[in-house]
């Protein structure tokens, strides 16, 4: 009987019902009693099923996380800051209007540390991307200032 899997499960069910007819419904306690009387331990099988369920749940969570990551990356790719004219002053106004407390202090520190226009553009891009992520929707690609 090396090819047990060659037959579909319903065929095996009919075969075993033919060999061992069962007209009696058993309670859970009776089944446990019969299993312990016969020395059959189902804990390993239960553990394997629980591990398989946990693995399937983990795979589903991973797939969801990947989907969310792709969505966030797509939203970040849509954010395009505008031209760098008067960028330092624009950033100062943007930071004053959008941030509070320690966040504001951190962005002002970054603004003061920015030495080049590329640094300022990078800071503006970071602010726009942060705003796009906090909104949670890919809607408008240009945040309001």
Q: What's the pLDDT tens digit per position in 69-101?
A: 888 777 766 665 555 567 888 888 888 888 888
Give the mean pLDDT of 11-17: 76
Written as six digits, the tokens of 76 are: 């970040």
Its pTM stands at 0.37
Written as six digits, the tokens of 117 are: 């226009």
Whole-number pLDDT of residue 3: 59
Q: What number of helices (H) and strands (E) belong to the chain?
A: 6, 0
């Amino acid at each position: 009987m090396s090819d047990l899997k060659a037959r579909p499960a319903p065929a095996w069910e009919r075969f075993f019902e033919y060999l061992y007819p069962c007209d009696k419904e058993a309670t859970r306690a009776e089944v446990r009693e019969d299993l312990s009387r016969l020395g059959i331990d189902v804990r390993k099988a239960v553990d394997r099923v629980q591990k398989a369920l946990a693995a399937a749940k983990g795979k589903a969570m991973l797939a969801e996380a990947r989907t969310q990551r792709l969505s966030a990356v797509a939203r970040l790719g849509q954010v395009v800051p505008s031209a760098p004219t008067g960028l330092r002053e624009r950033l100062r106004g943007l930071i004053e209007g959008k941030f509070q407390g320690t966040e504001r202090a951190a962005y002002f520190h970054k603004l003061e540390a920015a030495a080049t226009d590329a640094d300022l553009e990078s800071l503006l891009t970071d602010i726009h991307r942060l705003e796009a992520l906090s909104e949670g929707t890919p809607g408008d690609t240009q945040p309001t200032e």
